[in-house]
Structure 1
Amino acid sequence: MSRRGTRMTMTTLDKLTPIDQKPSASERVAERLIGLISSGNIAPGDKLPSENELSKALQVSRPVVREALRGLAMMGIVASRQGGGCYVTDLKPQRLMAPLSFALSLNDYNIESLFRARQVIDTGIAAEAARYATDEQIASLSELVDAGYKLIDDPVGFRVMDAQFHELIAVAANNDFLEKVSGSLYSLAIEQRRKASAKPGVLEVSAADHAAICAAIAGRDPEAAREAMSVHVENIRRTTLAVMDEA
């Protein structure tokens, strides 16, 4: 390659991946407002000053403020209400994590990276569930395990039970953020897992995995719960990839 060609390539890369790019004015405004909210100066439910008032207070133009508010709205931090005005939302984790779920569903992802993420998140959640699950939640998990064995010949029914089983473990972990992330990851590659669940022997293995996870959580053993969930996620990964290879 000629020196000229190399120089042109580097110039193009520089344009595509700027180094040490400074945040824009709107990003700085958004960060400032987030700081005011996190410090308690602005509380959930508070009405924000008008765009004109914010532009004067922050010494930026109204378009900059408008763009910043648009970004915060996309993040679920602020919202407009009927009758006018922009308000801070309730800031509940479910609302704040919604953009993550949407982004994950839109973006292409590598199936191996998905299951590596599930190994980190799902195993951690299982360990937390072993610490925090209530007796009632453990009883419900046990009932779902029993139901799973009865649904081995019913892939649709088993998948319904499976979703409830994993959701209950996430709830038992007593962490809203982990619960939302886990749910988002669970929903990915669902079509491939649907096909895998119809393969002979797959649901028998999943039912046994569920029993091991439930036993570890009931025994209040975080490390055993982590290990049992790790085995389960690996089995899901293996059968999912097998279906994808066939396709």
Structure 2
Amino acid sequence: MLDGDGSDRRSSGDATASAEHLKPLAKVTLPQEIVASIVNLIMARVWKPGDRIPPEKELTSRFGVGRSSLREAIQSLVILGVIDARPGDGSYIRSGTSELLSGAFEWGLLLGEQNLDDLVAMRVLIEVECADRAAAARDAGLARALIGLVDEMRALTDQPQAFMRLDNRFHELIAAGAGNTLYLSLSRTIQRLVGVWYTQTYELERTKSATLDEHLAIAKAIEQGSPPRARKYMREHIQRAAVRLHRVLARKT
């Protein structure tokens, strides 16, 4: 409550209680600031779908940043599906990005890792249920496709970006196998958003090995038509992936 001179008369006890519920603000890195600046240009229609973004030299000068930070920011936007990088031709703004960007900013996903745990919780809610339904459907074709993807991933452990695309495809197939279009739409959006962070963990060989084992366990549970095992292995995979990511991020701070 404000008294006559505009000062806050709330008791110190109330202030202390409120402070106990405040979370520390996440640190925003330079690449994240660049991402936010680029997204602002897109949302303001300064850069429109189909536009070729300026060359690296011009962008580093405009933003006053180094090449490595700029490249990390651009790669994050490529993973999000906002920018289309064409080797030998440059990078272009992709169409249909406005809805994704608006949602990402609502969740605070482009501005730091403070909501990572919330996103992991959302993944558990959606993807565990998808795994359950996919296993209950007993679709032999789906199971073969999932196991095939794991084999493809195993052959691409030296290519983090290709590995991640197959990882996303694995989860997308399970969401499609759940037979619910809303689950599929949500899963696609979540996979794009988490990819900005999770791609950082794929540089580690042990991470890729663990990911392959976890994916294979999920695929086998679906092949066996066991919803309980599919739920268990999907939940464990998401939670373990989050732990691995937190470790990588901790080393970078």
Distance 1:203 1:111 in 2: 20
The code of the aligned residue for 1:6 comes to D
Distance 1:179 1:118 in 2: 12
Distance 1:142 1:155 in 2: 19
Q: Once the two structures are aligned, what percentage of the paired residues are identical?
A: 25
How far apart are 1:202 and its partner, in Å? 0.4
Counterparts of 1:112-191 in structure 2 under 5 Å? 112-191=117-196
How far apart are 1:156 and its partner, in Å? 2.4
**Alignment size in residue pairs:** 159
Distance 1:164 1:2 in 2: 55
The code of the aligned residue for 2:103 comes to L
Change (3 A) 1:173 1:7: same
Distance 2:162 2:193 in 1: 19
How far apart are 1:133 and its partner, in Å? 5.0
State the Cα RMSD in Å.
Answer: 2.5
The code of the aligned residue for 2:216 comes to A
* 1:243 aligns with one of 223, 229, 248: 248
Q: Give per-residue Cα distances to partners, 1:155-187, cap 9 Å, x unaligned.
A: 222112111111111111110001111111111
Distance 1:224 1:180 in 2: 24
- Give the unaligned 5+ runs of structure 1: 9-94
Tell me what 1:6 maps to.
Answer: 8
C-alpha contact (below 8 Å) 1:192/1:243 kept by paired residues: no
C-alpha contact (below 8 Å) 1:130/1:219 kept by paired residues: yes
Larger Rg, first or second structure (1 or 2)? 1
Q: Does 1:229 align with 2:237?
A: no
Tell me what 1:11 maps to.
Answer: none
Distance 2:130 2:102 in 1: 22
C-alpha contact (below 8 Å) 1:104/1:184 kept by paired residues: no
C-alpha contact (below 8 Å) 1:122/1:182 kept by paired residues: yes
TM-score (norm 1): 0.58
Q: Which runs of 4+ in 1 moved over 3 A?
A: 1-4
C-alpha contact (below 8 Å) 1:196/1:239 kept by paired residues: yes
- Give the unaligned 5+ runs of structure 2: 11-95, 110-114
